[in-house]
Structure 1
Amino acid sequence: MKRIAVIGSSGGNLYNLGGKDPDKLMGEIAAQCASAGVEIGGVQFISASESMDTAKETTSAILYEWSSEDERLLKRSEGTLKEVNQAATEMDMQTAGLIQSGQIDGLIVMSADPERANRLTIEAAAERKIPVVGTGGTSMALISSKGANVIATSGTTGTTNRTRAVSFITSLCKHWGLKFVPVLGSPGTAKLPSSGKPWRRINLKGIMQSSLPGFIAMAIVLALSQIPALKGLSEVFDVMLKALPVVLAVIAAKQISDLDEVSIVAGVIAGALSINGGIIGGIIGGIGAGLLVQFLFVKCVQWKFPMTTVNIVAGGFAGLISGLIMYYLIAPFALQAGEFIKYIINIAISFNPIVAGVIGGLLIWPAILGGVYHAAILPIVLLEMEKTGNSFLGAIDMVGLVMVSAGITLANIIAPRDKGEAAVAAPGFLINMGFGTFVEAAYPFMFSNKWVFAGAICSAGVGGGLVGVFNVRGTAYVPSFMGPFLSNNVIGFMISMAVALLLSLAVTLVANKAARNRKQVAEQNVSAQQSA
């Protein structure tokens, strides 16, 4: 197993690009090392409380070392920058000794001080000709002039902790002839390979769920624009409508490549050029940008481009290529696909809105229990909201799921089967009413009593039918008292919500009472048998 040492400081420009957070910076390097099968043999890192460009000898600083057992940074010394630099010279001797004894095979340098705090380490690396990679224009130039075997160097502008870590380990592994698959995901979380089959990371459900706050914000702006004094917000709504594809593109690009700001920039560029394709266009553009970001990033690193250039090419070109393809080739078809889906929904609703509402209400609980809701219904809700800011299925969501769940949990607060169930039901009811979500709160009561389960489905069907009667368009995921005001029919939505809640409440109260009576009878029978 190859072993590396990491030396340097929080730097000048580096300070504002991740250097001021040593734990995160080293966490990214450690994650890539683990993927490559490379061990961290030592760290000497000086973290100042401000950029080294403005730091003075009296600036507070911390000297970090590496704990191989815990695989994390530990504080070795703390004080003024002058004091920490003095302590660093001791570590410099130790790191140089490891290199001279052959225990270090490669060196990562970030804004180091080759003249003082890191002088012995650099001299040892030059003598042993071990590969050196790093960032920091001035320090890397000095290191090269000392005869070190620098195989990759770059400035820090435009880089991130993750892109630097991937670049460092890619260059070292290529030098050693080791296979390296970069990993994605924050340190300490599940990580995914950034090469191989990246399309496996495409998760439409995740993209839709993550983008939901944008749609809710748009719905709120639409509702506020209906107030005479706030009519000017209608222009804001139009702007937000155009921004939705950008939101989806950014989420999609970051989901696939997860290269921090690089993937975000690519997603913004692709999304801006995918606006004419609607939200479907934004998703496709973002997916394309994410795939290209990863491909171009890895290739540019392998070609030994400077890190700043790698980020520019990966972020800028990936977004531009994907966006231009969307703009000129795919956007019109993506827009038509979305319009066709909405057209089919509108035909079904206009044919018989009451029947459509009842069917939607009856099916929405089986859909969420079967895992279909987020994969099929939520995308349709968002497609509807893209055009009008609210949705027929969104109204059924609020009425058939949220209000029914609220009714079930409220019943178990008022008259539970067992005393302990009230404590379980209360938080669920408050979240249902206060946030318009967490319908899962009703699951324990639905699964333990078939009458409550049947009552939930029937209540949702009745509520959905009323949504059809009043031809309501609305949304969930907002406080229940706000729901009606974000709809196209305030009174109709309020009636639909109230009926669904009260019906599920009544059914659950009756079911709970029957369960309590059966329990009492059973206890009496047991007591009678014991007496006999």
Structure 2
Amino acid sequence: MKRIAIVGSSGGNLYNLGGKEPEKLLGEILVQSSSVNLEVAGVQFVAAHGTMDMVRGDTQATVYSWDADAKQPAAVFQGSLEECNEYARQLDEAIAQQITNGTIDALIIMSSDPDGANRSVIKAAVERQIPIVGTGGTSMATVSSKGAKVILSSGTTGTTNRTRAISFVTALCKQWKIKYLPVIGNAKERGKVTAGSWRRINIRGIMMASLPGFIALALVLAISKIPGLSGLSPVFDLLIGALPVVIAAVAAKQVSDMEEVSIVAGVLAGILSQQGGIIGGMIGGIGAGLLVNFLFRKCIEWRFPTTTVNIIAGGVSGLVSGLIVYYLLAPVALWAGDHVKMLIETCVAFSPVLAGLIAGLLIWPAIIGGVYHAAILPIVLLEMEKTGNSFLGAVDMVGLVMVSAGITLANIVSPREKSEATVAAPGFLVNMGFGTFVEAAYPFMFSNKVVFGGAILSAGVAGMLVGIFNVRGTAYVPSIMAPLLSNNLLGFAISMASGLVCSFVITLFANKWAKRASQSAKQQAAG
């Protein structure tokens, strides 16, 4: 029997992907872990009543701990976020002592606060070198930088409560050589209608979860350019038409959370909403999700047979919502989407160099400030809807991914301290290999103002080159593949190289300067 502890918070991006429903988030981990006899021995989870990207000290929150008698997480304290963090520190000390005593074998962390509410736990985990799995790009980068034994680390974009729980337990079971088969579905939840459907409507969460569909579109576009494979062009057109269906299915699933029933409703609504583009698909899917919960509840109250309940909730909900969009809302939704894209195109046409420079200079402040996932990524997907690639998507790749890769590479080649090379290596490999995890550069940026300024400058230069070459592209793909998915292979490759080289050189000089200053200080102290 292995014992695990779960620590963290509802997070910023995580809040939109399950964090605002802490019981379900923690419950899914409990379902997966208990299926292989992984015992939960401690919980310290701070659930804010809003995304951490925009909270204040007086934002209300709830602290969850582990009820050993009931063998489930339980709310133990409510108050302002500041008060909850103070209370959570008591749980932090208790779980840290369990780790020190050897009664906890692993940690699951989500959007943690390694230098605050989770400081003692992380410190104890580092000292004992117990395996850690978790999500939250910023926090995981910090945890790794402290020397923790992280065996699984990722951001939260595109994840769900279930996929996160499965990935956590899979990694731990692989570490301990335990056979594990994921549990899909929870018998206790089956047939229930979760309250608060309106609160689960979150546009950016829907868009982010739909990202794989857009990447597939970009891949088909790239493959269709290969000589002899031009016959894939109709497939590209077909995929463009299918994007509203993807968006609708995701929207219905997130809003209703009724598993297959909500997916069927979303697909039906999406098919009927295609003329409204991805905005029309989103409206249709949200409407279908709301109707699924309403009709499901009513049919249960009317004591319809379960099969009939599913047919009505899934079929009628999708049809009604889809027909409303088809006959009434599709033209308005299409007009809105076209005007967003037209605004971007107008700015780029006015001065592509200036547009690229401004976008590059602002993209790091945007992601650090929580604006990226709220505004930039949805616009990227709107751009990709028609052409399979995007101006802002190209800036994302050259200004975030490649700059982060350059910073981490410099800390591999010439770190300020030897331990930083070990921290930087995984971040560099993930950025280059998968086009994501830009947060790997945070520890180095936040600890050195020159590196921070160099990141912004490098992103500005790379963005300017995107404008000069009139590049359209995307991130979230391997760096070697990214130019192939763009409209200008050479131009995108040069822009990417500029972001990497510029940030690499600046970070290299910053590290050398910092090392000299440190050595000089030591000599003066010794003298």
Matched residue type, 1:477: Y
Match of 2:348 in 1: 349
Structure 1 residue 262 displacement after superposition: 0.3
For residues 374 and 278 of structure 2, what CA distance do their matches in structure 1 show? Answer: 15
For residues 350 and 476 of structure 1, what CA distance do their matches in structure 2 show? Answer: 22
Matched residue type, 2:448: N
For residues 293 and 252 of structure 1, what CA distance do their matches in structure 2 show? Answer: 12
Matched residue type, 2:366: A
Q: Which runs of 5+ in 2 are unaligned?
A: 1-30, 36-68, 73-183
Q: Which runs of 5+ in 1 are unaligned?
A: 1-22, 28-67, 72-159, 168-181, 184-193
Match of 1:526 in 2: 525
Match of 1:442 in 2: 441
For residues 278 and 250 of structure 1, what CA distance do their matches in structure 2 show? Answer: 14
For residues 223 and 348 of structure 2, what CA distance do their matches in structure 1 show? Answer: 26
Give deviations 1:205-249, integer Å, cap 9, x for gaps: 211111111100100100111122000100000110011011111
Structure 1 residue 166 displacement after superposition: 5.6
Match of 2:271 in 1: 272
Instruction: Flag the 1:305–1:370 CA change in 2: closer, same or farther, 3 A.
Output: same
Maintained 8 Å contact 1:163/1:259: no
Match of 1:423 in 2: 422
Structure 1 residue 163 displacement after superposition: 9.4
Structure 1 residue 161 displacement after superposition: 6.8
Match of 1:516 in 2: 515
Match of 2:233 in 1: 234
For residues 189 and 284 of structure 2, what CA distance do their matches in structure 1 show? Answer: 27
For residues 326 and 444 of structure 1, what CA distance do their matches in structure 2 show? Answer: 47
Matched residue type, 2:230: K
Query: Where in structure 2 are the equivalents of 1:15-94 lying within 5 Å?
Result: none
Matched residue type, 2:504: L
Matched, 1:214 2:235: no
For residues 388 and 70 of structure 2, what CA distance do their matches in structure 1 show? Answer: 54
For residues 355 and 412 of structure 2, what CA distance do their matches in structure 1 show? Answer: 33
For residues 409 and 515 of structure 2, what CA distance do their matches in structure 1 show? Answer: 17
For residues 523 and 327 of structure 2, what CA distance do their matches in structure 1 show? Answer: 77
Instruction: Flag the 1:469–1:335 CA change in 2: closer, same or farther, 3 A.
Output: same
Give deviations 1:135-174, integer Å, cap 9, x for gaps: xxxxxxxxxxxxxxxxxxxxxxxxx97799665xxxxxxx
Structure 1 residue 412 displacement after superposition: 0.1
Match of 2:373 in 1: 374
For residues 496 and 201 of structure 1, what CA distance do their matches in structure 2 show? Answer: 39
Maintained 8 Å contact 1:274/1:327: yes
For residues 70 and 339 of structure 1, what CA distance do their matches in structure 2 show? Answer: 52
Secondary structure of 2:210's counterpart equals helix
Query: Where in structure 2 are the equivalents of 1:349-498 lying within 5 Å?
Result: 349-498=348-497
Secondary structure of 1:472's counterpart equals coil
For residues 226 and 285 of structure 1, what CA distance do their matches in structure 2 show? Answer: 33
For residues 330 and 162 of structure 1, what CA distance do their matches in structure 2 show? Answer: 36
Maintained 8 Å contact 1:361/1:463: yes
For residues 226 and 161 of structure 1, what CA distance do their matches in structure 2 show? Answer: 41
For residues 285 and 457 of structure 1, what CA distance do their matches in structure 2 show? Answer: 39
Matched residue type, 2:231: G
Give deviations 1:175-198, integer Å, cap 9, x for gaps: xxxxxxx46xxxxxxxxxx22x42
Matched, 1:258 2:257: yes
For residues 367 and 204 of structure 1, what CA distance do their matches in structure 2 show? Answer: 18
Matched residue type, 2:521: A
Maintained 8 Å contact 1:246/1:275: yes
Match of 1:325 in 2: 324
Matched residue type, 1:479: P
For residues 166 and 368 of structure 1, what CA distance do their matches in structure 2 show? Answer: 37
Secondary structure of 1:232's counterpart equals helix
For residues 161 and 476 of structure 1, what CA distance do their matches in structure 2 show? Answer: 32
Give deviations 1:236-289, integer Å, cap 9, x for gaps: 001100110111111110001111110000000000001001111111111000
For residues 208 and 429 of structure 1, what CA distance do their matches in structure 2 show? Answer: 26
For residues 161 and 453 of structure 1, what CA distance do their matches in structure 2 show? Answer: 44
For residues 206 and 350 of structure 1, what CA distance do their matches in structure 2 show? Answer: 30
Instruction: Flag the 1:301–1:161 CA change in 2: closer, same or farther, 3 A.
Output: farther
Matched residue type, 1:423: T
Secondary structure of 2:323's counterpart equals helix
Matched residue type, 2:334: L
Maintained 8 Å contact 1:463/1:500: yes
Maintained 8 Å contact 1:289/1:319: yes
Matched, 1:305 2:304: yes
Structure 1 residue 325 displacement after superposition: 0.2
Instruction: Flag the 1:163–1:268 CA change in 2: closer, same or farther, 3 A.
Output: farther
Number of matched residues? 353
Structure 1 residue 199 displacement after superposition: 1.0
Secondary structure of 1:476's counterpart equals coil
For residues 190 and 481 of structure 2, what CA distance do their matches in structure 1 show? Answer: 46
Secondary structure of 2:228's counterpart equals helix
Give deviations 1:453-488, integer Å, cap 9, x for gaps: 000000000000000000000000000000101000
Match of 2:498 in 1: 499
Query: Where in structure 2 are the equivalents of 1:282-301 lying within 5 Å?
Result: 282-301=281-300
Matched residue type, 1:458: L
Which has the higher Rg, Structure 1 or Structure 2?
A: 1
Secondary structure of 1:229's counterpart equals coil
For residues 456 and 204 of structure 1, what CA distance do their matches in structure 2 show? Answer: 29
Secondary structure of 1:228's counterpart equals coil
Task: Give the CA RMSD over aligned residues.
Answer: 2.0
Match of 2:145 in 1: none
Secondary structure of 1:477's counterpart equals coil
For residues 198 and 248 of structure 1, what CA distance do their matches in structure 2 show? Answer: 17
Match of 1:48 in 2: none
Give deviations 1:45-69, integer Å, cap 9, x for gaps: xxxxxxxxxxxxxxxxxxxxxxx96
Instruction: Flag the 1:165–1:443 CA change in 2: closer, same or farther, 3 A.
Output: closer
For residues 215 and 251 of structure 2, what CA distance do their matches in structure 1 show? Answer: 19
For residues 221 and 70 of structure 2, what CA distance do their matches in structure 1 show? Answer: 56
Match of 1:118 in 2: none
Maintained 8 Å contact 1:164/1:307: no
Maintained 8 Å contact 1:362/1:460: yes
Structure 1 residue 499 displacement after superposition: 0.9
Secondary structure of 2:476's counterpart equals coil
Maintained 8 Å contact 1:162/1:259: no
Q: TM-score, normalised by structure 1?
A: 0.64
Match of 2:57 in 1: none
